Amino acid sequence: MIVRADATPAMGIGHVMRLLALAEAHVDRGGSVVFAVNADAAAAADALKRRCLPVYLVHSASGSVGDAGEMSALAETTGSDVVVVDGYHFPPEYFANLRERELRAVAVDDTGASRPEADLVLDPDDPAFVLLRREFTSLPHRLDPTAGPVRRLLVTFGGSDPARGTAWVLRALPVGGPPVVTAVVGQSYRDDGELDAAARAAATRGYAVELLRGVTDMAALMATVDASVSAAGVTLWELAYMGVPTLAFTVADNQDANAATLANRQCIVNGGRLAHCSDEQISRLLARLVGDATLRTDIASRFGRLIDGRGAARSLARIDAIRRRATAA
């Protein structure tokens, strides 16, 4: 199986991490996987290689005819017949081109848009098909978090954090919050000193701020925190599985609908669009989350019960089904 996704500072690494969960599940059942990523996705490629997954660098423009041709050649070399694609910038023609080359084309798409050109569409925001990496599913599913005080707060806005949300939240931390704040960014984060300055500002208000870059086991880290502030992307589902009550902000158009749905189901505290928030609004929302133990327990329990950690297995079963149909035809 070939899994195809891109990672850039503007896009982040979420599409790659989402497919990593599918790749690991396929390897765990005895399958073989090749990751195909854009040629300048150095941080993503390194993360995959650390997990002993083969990586192919795509040199054609993403989603182009040349890209599809490279996938066809890679499939022939590796004996693959399925290409799983995750990314909003892959046009309908890309999936049609893959199918014309006698490859099964699978789209991972959480936008709800119709993709008739693909053989199969997987929605990773459907709770039954949430893709969680092995580091999470190997740990117990925390369905009943404790209602104790918040001693450690996690702040994370993705690997590259293009919205600069991590620094923004550090600057807006309320007086009297948790004593320890762990802020996480990825290796692709463009460090211009803003994050360190925000951490120093938080320290003057009594916080001990721990800055971490390129964390390799987010599940283990999430197991140590009592609450979190996060972008409303892939990380939300990981926090749900780990039973971490979360204040979520949307930083991209594709996150709005899912965040609103989860807020309506009382699974998260929805901060809305980060770009539209003031420091005072962020501080007030965070003070509410940190100060209300009943709220934290309730939202984390509801959120965790939406998923069971078997989304990757269900996704692979659906991929197997289209392969069987193709063979029968």
**Dist CA 119 CA 82 (whole Å):** 10
Are residues 24 and 103 located together in one domain of the fold? yes
Q: How far is CA 48 from CA 10, 120, 131, in A?
A: 19, 25, 16
Are residues 81 and 60 located together in one domain of the fold? yes
The answer on pLDDT for 70 being more than 70 is yes
Are residues 294 and 150 located together in one domain of the fold? yes
Are residues 245 and 109 located together in one domain of the fold? no
pLDDT band at 189 (very low <50, low <70, confident <90, very high): confident
Q: What is the dihedral of CA 161, 249, 125, 113, to 10 degrees?
A: -90
Query: Using one digit for the tens of pLDDT, what is the confidence trace for 211-258?
Result: 999 898 999 999 999 999 999 988 999 999 999 999 999 998 889 999
The CATH number of whichever domain residue 83 belongs to comes to 3.40.50.11190
Are residues 191 and 212 located together in one domain of the fold? yes
**Dist CA 257 CA 111 (whole Å):** 9
**Dist CA 174 CA 177 (whole Å):** 6
Are residues 61 and 193 located together in one domain of the fold? no
Q: Over pLDDT 70: what percentage of the chain? A: 100
Degrees to nearest 5, angle at CA 303 with 109 and 156: 70
Average pLDDT, the chain: 92
Long-range (24+ apart) CB contacts under 8 A made by 124-128 are 124/18, 124/234, 124/237, 124/311, 125/258, 127/306, 127/307, 127/311, 128/307, 128/311, 128/314
| Average pLDDT rounded to a whole number, residues 278-300 | 95
Number of Cβ atoms within 10 Å of the Cβ of 261: 13
pLDDT score at 329: 63
Are residues 109 and 165 located together in one domain of the fold? no
Are residues 315 and 258 located together in one domain of the fold? no
Query: Using one digit for the tens of pLDDT, what is the confidence trace for 35-60?
Result: 999 999 888 898 899 889 999 999 99
pLDDT score at 226: 95
The answer on pLDDT for 24 being more than 90 is yes
Strand arrangement of the beta sheet that strand 104-108 belongs to: 55-58, 34-38, 2-5, 82-86, 104-108, 120-122
Are residues 106 and 154 located together in one domain of the fold? no
The answer on pLDDT for 104 being more than 90 is yes
Tell me which residue range forms the domain holding 161. 136-304
Are residues 252 and 150 located together in one domain of the fold? yes
Are residues 82 and 199 located together in one domain of the fold? no
Are residues 156 and 258 located together in one domain of the fold? yes
**Dist CA 56 CA 35 (whole Å):** 6
Total domains, the chain: 2
